[in-house]
DNA sequence: CAGGACTCTCAGCGCCCTCTCAGGGCGTTG
DNA sequence: CAACGCCCTGAGAGGGCGCTGAGAGTCCTG
């Protein structure tokens, strides 16, 4: 773990560095605001510990400047003041947490653990098949970079195809998964909607993703 | 924003609920550990405020059980004790932050803002989407530098949209997060307020941030 | 007490989505 | 070759769904 400590009090800094290094943390120290800002922008840290009272430039400023420069490294602010005003202001200026001096080393460590625990949820569950993209989160669809407007039913159907690509799906199967369970119309509706889809995602691009398998159903093919 | 408050002291709970609701937060209250645990597991909250001293089950246990059950909602622990031991133990048992009683309401709010910002991919304090800016701390809103006056409800709704940008939100989902839990009107209210927002943040600027996704809900889109 | 801001309800309207239906093409089967 | 089954598609009905204006109720403020 790489940590940047921005702290001008030599004694405190030295003792923190000793403790952190003993715990296997890679520590860099900056002794004033501008230096801290520069290091934070130029190097890649996992977390920043920032004192509020600094020579030349306050911790507030450093914090704000960093966020403004689009640096989102977690910041833990240290403050000797006890007023809640500072507290609120640090948090609102972009800090992730703060600690009031004096504090114990173990508390600092526990806080750092929390800050580092954020495993940012990877999300993009985008369905892709060749040049076709389907995003369930935004209900959007595009082929070869061209946006395609789909109705709700069309989207559900295409989503089902993509999730079962390269597999023959019978009309009844499709009916079960894409239409309401209590739908009692004829399977012809599937043919109708397959037709709609082909007109939107195949014909304009001269592709042939949705293949009819006579007497069996349909097949969405990709990755050929 | 949906918040779960687990607190058995009625006076404190009531005053927090009043304050939070006035700020547009949707609050549910649990008065003991097991109830809190159950609600937290069954419902979808944005943040949990948890007292340590609780009937039937301590805050520690609640916290641990939740994390064990794979519920990662941010948790802010309230504690009356002053020893740092509790502090470390809460943080290590899965809490994201803690606050020692007595505390001021504004500090609580600031901490909550931090937790929420963290939850949704490390967001700055001010919510931004293209040229739209929303500041939860001051309840102010501006597009392209022009200030826009929003009512409390409109603000909550827009804030929810911004925190879930580029994702389709169903009307029920919106109802759950922006309106009180005991609201039992029809989802039409969402359409009405979306209409209000569009008149204020889209029409005057010829933009189209809030998109209707028929039969699915609404989508706030930005950064396209 | 009047006026205004805000929240919510309700009903009307219009669009487009969904689904039905029937006719035609095509391959298969007798 | 005729008959049949299977698939495709255009036309069109109906209704669900979303949007909006009007207005009632409430609270706050001057």
For residue A100, pLDDT beyond 80? no
Mean pLDDT of B61-66: 86
Please answer whether residues A191 and A177 qualify as being in contact, where contact means their C-beta atoms are separated by less than 8 angstroms. no
Which B positions 150-169 lie with beta carbon below 8 A of chain A?
A: 166-168
In a domain, residue A164? The reply is yes
In a domain, residue A122? The reply is no
- How, if at all, do strands A146-148 and A140-143 pair? antiparallel
Q: Which of A87, A117, A147 is the last residue of a domain?
A: A117
In a domain, residue A67? The reply is yes
B102 and B170: one domain? no
Cα distance from B138 to chain A (closest Cα, Å)?
Answer: 11
User: What's the predicted TM-score (pTM) here?
Assistant: 0.62
Q: Which of A117, A135, A164 is the last residue of a domain?
A: A117
Mean pLDDT of A134-157: 94
Q: How far is the CA of B160 from the C1' of D30 (A)?
A: 34
The residue that leads in pLDDT, A130 or A84, is A130
What does A137-176 look like in DSSP terms, one character per residue? TTTEEEETTEEE---HHHHHHHHHHHHTTTSEE-HHHHHH
Confidence at B121, pLDDT banded by 50, 70, 90: very low
**Alpha carbon distance B11, B19 (integer Å):** 13
What does chain A look like in DSSP terms, one character per residue? -EEEEE---HHHHHHHHHHHHHTT-EEEEESSHHHHHHHHHHS--SEEEEESS-SSS-HHHHHHHHHHTT----EEEEES---HHHHHHHHHTT-SEEEESS--HHHHHHHHHHHHT---------EEETTEEEETTTTEEEETTEEE---HHHHHHHHHHHHTTTSEE-HHHHHHHHS-TT--S-THHHHHHHHHHIIIIIGGGT---EEEETTTEEEE----
DSSP-assigned beta bridge partners for residue A147 = A142
Is cis: bond before B102, omega within 30 of 0?
A: yes
> In a mutagenesis test of the A interface, which of B168, B170, B220 is the best target, namely the one with the most A β-carbons within 10 Å?
B168
Q: Which of A117, A147, A169 is the last residue of a domain?
A: A117
For residue B68, pLDDT beyond 60? yes
- Any idea what the CATH number is for the domain that residue B155 is in? 1.10.10.10
A110 and A139: one domain? no
**Alpha carbon distance A168, A173 (integer Å):** 10
**Alpha carbon distance A107, A98 (integer Å):** 11
**Alpha carbon distance A69, A38 (integer Å):** 11
Query: What is residue A201's predicted lDDT score, i.e. its pLDDT?
Result: 97
For residue B40, pLDDT beyond 80? yes
Taking an 8 Å cut-off on Cβ atoms, the answer to whether B125 and A72 are in contact is no
Query: What is residue A121's predicted lDDT score, i.e. its pLDDT?
Result: 32
Mean pLDDT of A1-8: 85
A138 touches chain B (CB under 8 A): yes
Number of domains in chain B: 2
Query: What is residue A83's predicted lDDT score, i.e. its pLDDT?
Result: 58
Closest-CA residue to A138 (of B121, B163, B221)? B221
Place of tokens 């005057």: B204
A199: which 2 tokens?
Answer: 């007109």
For residue A168, pLDDT beyond 50? yes
Please answer whether residues B4 and B51 qualify as being in contact, where contact means their C-beta atoms are separated by less than 8 angstroms. no
Please answer whether residues B187 and B178 qualify as being in contact, where contact means their C-beta atoms are separated by less than 8 angstroms. no
Confidence at B124, pLDDT banded by 50, 70, 90: very low
Confidence at A148, pLDDT banded by 50, 70, 90: very high
Mean pLDDT of B57-78: 83
Confidence at B19, pLDDT banded by 50, 70, 90: confident
**Alpha carbon distance B78, B149 (integer Å):** 35
Mean pLDDT of B49-56: 88
Query: What is residue B209's predicted lDDT score, i.e. its pLDDT?
Result: 96
B41 SS3 class? helix
On average, the pLDDT of chain A sits at 83
Closest-CA residue to B222 (of B212, B209, B213, B205)? B209
Query: What is residue A90's predicted lDDT score, i.e. its pLDDT?
Result: 65
Q: How far is the CA of A215 from the C1' of D4 (A)?
A: 14
Mean pLDDT of B102-128: 69
Q: Strand D: which residues 184-213 of B lie within 7 A (CB)?
A: 188, 191-192, 194-195, 198, 212
The residue that leads in pLDDT, B86 or B213, is B213
B96 and B137: one domain? no
B99 and B201: one domain? no
**Alpha carbon distance A98, B219 (integer Å):** 35
A44 and A151: one domain? no
For residue A188, pLDDT beyond 70? yes
A69 and A136: one domain? no
CB-CB: which of A84, A110, A118 is closest to B91? A110
Please answer whether residues B190 and B175 qualify as being in contact, where contact means their C-beta atoms are separated by less than 8 angstroms. yes
Query: What is residue A162's predicted lDDT score, i.e. its pLDDT?
Result: 95
Please tell me the least confidently modeled range out of A8-17, A42-51, A92-101, A163-172: A92-101
Contacts of A13 (CB under 8 A, 6+ apart): A5, A7, A29, A31
A94 and A142: one domain? no
A179: which 2 tokens?
Answer: 């239409």
Query: What is residue A126's predicted lDDT score, i.e. its pLDDT?
Result: 83
Mean pLDDT of A18-32: 77
Query: What is residue A119's predicted lDDT score, i.e. its pLDDT?
Result: 38
- Cβ count near A42 (within 10 Å): 8
In a domain, residue A195? The reply is yes
Torsion angles phi and psi, residue B168, rounded to 5:
-75, 130
> What range does the domain containing B15 cover?
2-117
Confidence at B119, pLDDT banded by 50, 70, 90: very low
Please tell me the least confidently modeled range out of A88-97, A133-142, B47-56, B95-104: A88-97
A170 and A82: one domain? no
Contact residues, chain B, for A87 at CB < 8 Å: 107, 110
**Alpha carbon distance A99, B103 (integer Å):** 15
Q: How far is the CA of A176 from the C1' of C24 (A)?
A: 29
Contacts of A103 (CB under 8 A, 6+ apart): A78
Query: What is residue A122's predicted lDDT score, i.e. its pLDDT?
Result: 29
């Amino acid at each position: 773990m790489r940590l940047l400590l921005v702290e001008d009090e030599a004694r405190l800094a030295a003792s923190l560095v000793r403790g952190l290094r003993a715990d296997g943390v890679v520590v860099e120290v900056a002794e004033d605001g501008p230096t801290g800002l520069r290091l934070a922008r130029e190097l890649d840290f996992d977390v920043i510990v920032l004192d509020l009272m600094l020579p030349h430039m306050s911790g507030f400023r450093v914090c704000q400047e960093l966020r403004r420069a689009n640096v989102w490294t977690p910041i833990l602010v240290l403050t000797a003041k006890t007023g809640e005003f500072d507290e609120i202001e640090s948090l609102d200026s972009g800090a992730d947490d703060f600690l009031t001096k004096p504090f114990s080393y173990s508390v600092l460590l526990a806080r750092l653990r929390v800050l580092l625990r954020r495993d940012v949820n990877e999300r993009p569950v985008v369905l892709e098949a060749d040049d076709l993209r389907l995003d369930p989160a935004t209900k959007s669809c595009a082929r070869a970079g061209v946006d395609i407007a789909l109705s709700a039913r069309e989207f559900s159907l295409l989503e089902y195809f993509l999730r079962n690509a390269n597999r023959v799906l019978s009309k009844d199967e499709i009916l079960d998964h894409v239409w309401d369970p209590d739908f009692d119309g004829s399977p012809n509706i599937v043919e109708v909607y397959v037709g709609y889809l082909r007109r939107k995602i195949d014909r304009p691009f001269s592709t042939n993703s949705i293949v009819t398998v006579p007497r069996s159903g349909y097949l969405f093919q990709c990755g050929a």
